[in-house]
Amino acid sequence: MALKQSQQVLEAIKRSSRPLICVPSGGGPDAYASALGLAKVLKKLEKDALIVAADGQAPKNLQFLPGTDAIHTKLENLRQFVIELDATKTKVDALTYELKGDKLYVYLSPKAGFWDQKDVRTSSSGYRFDLIICIGSPDYESCAHLYSENPDFFFHTPVINIDHTPENEQYGQINVVDLTASACGEVCHDLIEAIEPGLIDEEIATAFLTGMIAKTKSFKTHNVTPKTLQTASKLIARGAKRQDIVQRLYRTRSVHTLRLWGRALARLKSDEEAKLVWTLLSRQDFLHAGAQEIDLPDVIDELIASSPAAHVVVLLWENGEGNICAIVRAERPIDVIELCKGFNASGTREEVRLCIIKKNIVQVETELLTQIREQLKPK
């Protein structure tokens, strides 16, 4: 008899010695919070998981959740280069090494005798991680540089794909995709409850509920169902701190963030026919506000709140390297990846990020907004 999906996930986790949890570009607070909760579940199952996020560190408003400081931004040391020495007859007395320019020299001193070339073999080790859990990623490409720099790793490692969007390409060996769920936090709760309800403690419940509240704008979006509210009730019963979540997500803003909001709102532009709004932020705006790029998710949330009639929101800014970057977010059924086709955008169909070099912010504004308008025109 075939195993239930929850049992398949549990068996995959049990067989794993080093799982990786991947948060895609554009995954947002829901994916980050769900990843943090799932990592704590794996810890209870005696698996030490590492979280890596394509968009970098968790947003500031999630840093009340334990574990955000341990989120990595790159996949490093995936494989090791192995030097194998046959020391059956000749034992090693000492090992030293030195760097000369771009070359590394390794010196092995024998206790007696010597080695020759037939005693030495070189190889590459297996991958550092033996299981990938993708949260909120509709496809591999949404993992941005995590995937583009390491495609072989993704194709040669088992993948558990956790999502709730209809665009998901079912690319995993195990696909936990619930189209009736409102958020990845809800999918993760249902999955862990099916495996073992007792695994969900107060911290895990708070993480999953944080994802749900962030994704549904505190249960105000159209995809909230009675099941969503029932799941939220179960998480609160298990100790999820709803008041703390709402306070941190929506009622705690630094003066720096508020200043950046003001500068973004002062330049807000709109195209009512296309139901499109956008704004620009220069390096001077960040310096004068005392803010950083990590504050930008809060800014785009404020743009959406200030423009309820808009279906597409674009935030353009000049980053610390002088490049022009953008976050583009849209309501379904609009596909943001299609809107930004040709701009090397990465993320989900609801939100993408992109960066362009060797152009100023006005040039990028003109080119990107022209294309988006063309794409939004009725076919």
**Are 166 and 56 spatial neighbours (Cβ–Cβ below 8 Å)?**
no
**Are 41 and 204 spatial neighbours (Cβ–Cβ below 8 Å)?**
yes
Lowest average pLDDT, out of 135-144, 198-207, 217-226, 357-366, goes to 217-226
Tokens 């090693």 -> residue: 92
More confident site: 305 or 139: 139
Q: What is the mean pLDDT of the chain?
A: 90
**In the numeric block, which tokens belong to residue 223?**
């995809």
Mean of pLDDT values over 76-102: 85
242 pLDDT band, cuts 50/70/90, is very high
pLDDT at residue 217, rounded to an integer: 86
**Are 188 and 37 spatial neighbours (Cβ–Cβ below 8 Å)?**
yes
Phi, psi torsion values for 216, nearest 5 degrees: -95, 5
Rounded CA gap, 56 and 290, in Å?
20
379 pLDDT band, cuts 50/70/90, is low
Residue type, 246: V
pLDDT at residue 1, rounded to an integer: 47
State the pTM of this model.
0.78
264's CB contacts (< 8 A; 6+ apart) are 279, 281, 285, 299, 302, 303, 315
Rounded CA gap, 358 and 341, in Å?
19
Residue 270: pLDDT over 70? yes
pLDDT at residue 213, rounded to an integer: 95
Phi, psi torsion values for 127, nearest 5 degrees: -70, 150
Q: How far is CA 48 from CA 3, 37, 51, 129, 229, in A?
A: 25, 13, 10, 11, 31
Mean of pLDDT values over 193-212: 96
Q: Residues 115-132: pLDDT tens digits?
A: 888 888 887 768 899 999
> How many CA atoms are closer than 13 Å to the CA of 150, on its beta-carbon side?
20
3-state secondary structure of 110: strand
**In the numeric block, which tokens belong to residue 344?**
């090397």
Rounded CA gap, 192 and 70, in Å?
22
Q: Residues 274-324: pLDDT tens digits?
A: 899 999 999 999 998 888 887 887 777 777 767 778 899 999 999 878 899
pLDDT at residue 137, rounded to an integer: 94
Rounded CA gap, 106 and 147, in Å?
33
DSSP 50: E
Q: Peptide bond preceding 333: is omega within 30 degrees of 0, i.e. cis?
A: yes
Rounded CA gap, 286 and 330, in Å?
25
Helix (H) or strand (E) holding 84: strand 81-85
Phi-psi bin for 178: left (phi > 0), alpha (psi -120 to 50), beta? beta
Q: How far is CA 11 from CA 3, 17, 85, 155, 160, in A?
A: 9, 12, 36, 20, 11
Rounded CA gap, 187 and 199, in Å?
15
Share above pLDDT 70 across residues of the chain, in percent, rounded to a whole number: 98
For Cα atoms 49, 352, 278, give the angle at the middle one, nearest 5 degrees. Answer: 140
Lowest average pLDDT, out of 31-45, 68-82, 127-141, 232-246, goes to 68-82
20's CB contacts (< 8 A; 6+ apart) are 49, 50, 51, 52, 75, 129, 131, 132, 133
214 pLDDT band, cuts 50/70/90, is very high
2 pLDDT band, cuts 50/70/90, is low
61 pLDDT band, cuts 50/70/90, is confident
Lowest average pLDDT, out of 151-165, 196-210, 288-302, goes to 288-302
180's CB contacts (< 8 A; 6+ apart) are 164, 225, 227
Which of 152, 358, 374 shows the shortest CA–CA distance to 276? 374
More confident site: 142 or 34: 34
pLDDT at residue 109, rounded to an integer: 87
More confident site: 85 or 11: 11
Mean of pLDDT values over 233-256: 88
Residue 86: pLDDT over 60? yes
Task: Sketch out the chain's domains with CATH numbers.
Answer: 5-75+128-249 (3.90.1640.10), 81-124 (no CATH), 255-376 (3.10.310.30)
pLDDT at residue 114, rounded to an integer: 82
How many residues are recorded in the chain? 379
